[in-house]
Structure 1
Amino acid sequence: MRLVVHYRILAATAADARARAEAIALEQTVEVPRDVVPAGFVEDEILGRVEELGAEAEGAFRAAISYSPDSVGGQVTQLFNVVFGNSSIQRGLRVIGLEPGDTLAARFPGARFGVAGLRARTRRVAGGLIAPVLKPMGLSADALADIAYLCARGGADIVKEDHGLADQPMAPFRERVEKIAAAVARANAETGGAAQYFPNLAGRAEEIEGNLCFAAGAGVGGILVMPGLLGFGVVDRIARDDRLNLPVMTHPAFLGPHVLSSDTGLDHGVIFGTLQRLAGADISVFPNVGGRFGFSAADCAQIAGACRAVAGPGRAILPSPGGGMSVARAEDMVAMYGTDAVFLLGGSLLRHGDRIGEGIAAMRRAIDAALPEVG
Structure 2
Amino acid sequence: MTRFSVTYRIFAPELAEAKVRAEAIALEQTVEIPRDVVPAGFIEDEILGRVEEIGSDGDGQFRATLSYSPHSAGFEIAQFFNVIFGNSSIQRGLRVVGIEPGEEMARRHPGPRFGIDGVRALCGRPAGGLIAPVLKPQGLDADDLARIGYLCARGGADIVKEDHGLMDQPMAPFRERVEKTAAAVTRANAETGGRALYFPTLAGQPDQLEGNIRFARDAGADGLLVLPGLLGFGTVSRIARDRELNMPVMTHPSFLGPYVLSPDTGFDHGVMFGTLQRIAGADISVFPNVGGRFGFSHAECAGIAHACRDGAGPGRPMLPSPGGGMSVDRAADMAAMYGDDVVYLLGGSLLRLGERIGEGIAAMRAALDAVRAAEA
Q: Residue 235 of structure 1 aligns to which amino acid in structure 2?
A: V
Q: Distance in 2 between matches of 1:134 and 1:80?
A: 32
Q: Distance in 2 between matches of 1:157 and 1:184?
A: 11
Q: Residue 4 of structure 1 aligns to which amino acid in structure 2?
A: S
Q: What does the per-residue CA deviation read over 1:343-371, in whole Å, with 9 as the maximum and x for residues that have no partner?
A: 00011211101011000000000011111
Q: Residue 266 of structure 1 aligns to which amino acid in structure 2?
A: F
Q: Distance in 2 between matches of 1:233 and 1:155?
A: 33
Q: Which residue of 1 aligns with 2:337?
A: 336
Q: What does the per-residue CA deviation read over 1:33-92, in whole Å, with 9 as the maximum and x for residues that have no partner?
A: 101111000000000000001011121111000000111111111111000000000000
Equivalent residue of 2:139, what SS? coil
Q: Which residue of 1 aligns with 2:85?
A: 84
- Tell me, yes or no, if structure 1 residue 316 matches structure 2 residue 328: no
Q: What does the per-residue CA deviation read over 1:287-309, in whole Å, with 9 as the maximum and x for residues that have no partner?
A: 00000000000000000000000
- Tell me, yes or no, if structure 1 residue 93 matches structure 2 residue 94: yes
Equivalent residue of 1:329, what SS? helix
- Tell me, yes or no, if structure 1 residue 207 matches structure 2 residue 203: no
Q: Which residue of 1 aligns with 2:363?
A: 362
Q: What does the per-residue CA deviation read over 1:3-57, in whole Å, with 9 as the maximum and x for residues that have no partner?
A: 1100000111111101100000000000001011110000000000000010111
TM-score for both structures, normalised by structure 1: 0.99
Q: Which residue of 1 aligns with 2:217?
A: 216
Q: What does the per-residue CA deviation read over 1:95-117, in whole Å, with 9 as the maximum and x for residues that have no partner?
A: 00010111111111100000000
- Tell me, yes or no, if structure 1 residue 182 matches structure 2 residue 183: yes
Unpaired runs of 5+ in structure 2?
none
Q: What does the per-residue CA deviation read over 1:287-341, in whole Å, with 9 as the maximum and x for residues that have no partner?
A: 0000000000000000000000011200000000001111111010000000100
Q: How far is the alpha carbon of 1:342 from its aligned partner?
A: 0.1
Q: Distance in 1 between matches of 2:334 and 2:40?
A: 55
Q: How far is the alpha carbon of 1:373 from its aligned partner?
A: 5.7
Q: Residue 141 of structure 2 aligns to which amino acid in structure 1?
A: S
Q: Distance in 2 between matches of 1:108 and 1:206?
A: 24
Q: Which residue of 1 aligns with 2:3?
A: 2
Q: Which residue of 2 aligns with 1:136?
A: 137
Q: Distance in 1 between matches of 2:195 and 2:78?
A: 34
Equivalent residue of 1:328, what SS? helix
- Tell me, yes or no, if structure 1 residue 293 matches structure 2 residue 294: yes
Q: What does the per-residue CA deviation read over 1:152-180, in whole Å, with 9 as the maximum and x for residues that have no partner?
A: 00000000000000000000000000000
Q: Residue 189 of structure 2 aligns to which amino acid in structure 1?
A: N
Equivalent residue of 1:57, what SS? coil
Q: Which residue of 1 aligns with 2:25?
A: 24
Aligned-pair Cα RMSD in Å:
0.8
Equivalent residue of 2:329, what SS? coil
Q: What does the per-residue CA deviation read over 1:181-217, in whole Å, with 9 as the maximum and x for residues that have no partner?
A: 0000000000000000000000111111111110010
- Tell me, yes or no, if structure 1 residue 57 matches structure 2 residue 58: yes
Q: Residue 87 of structure 2 aligns to which amino acid in structure 1?
A: N
CA 1:61–1:178: 2 relative to 1, 3 Å: same
Q: How far is the alpha carbon of 1:372 from its aligned partner?
A: 5.6
Q: Residue 313 of structure 1 aligns to which amino acid in structure 2?
A: P
Q: Which residue of 2 aligns with 1:33?
A: 34
Q: Residue 297 of structure 2 aligns to which amino acid in structure 1?
A: S
Q: Which residue of 1 aligns with 2:115?
A: 114
Percent identity over the alignment is 73
Q: Distance in 1 between matches of 2:28 and 2:172?
A: 45
Q: Distance in 2 between matches of 1:95 and 1:167?
A: 34
Q: Distance in 2 between matches of 1:343 and 1:110?
A: 22
Equivalent residue of 1:371, what SS? helix
Q: Which residue of 2 aligns with 1:194?
A: 195
**Displaced runs of 4+ in structure 1, greater than 6 A?**
none
How many residues end up aligned between the 2 structures? 375
Q: Distance in 1 between matches of 2:75 and 2:372?
A: 41
- In terms of mean alpha carbon deviation, does 150-159 or 7-16 score higher? 7-16
CA 1:372–1:86: 2 relative to 1, 3 Å: farther
- In terms of mean alpha carbon deviation, does 53-62 or 184-193 score higher? 53-62
- Tell me, yes or no, if structure 1 residue 151 matches structure 2 residue 121: no
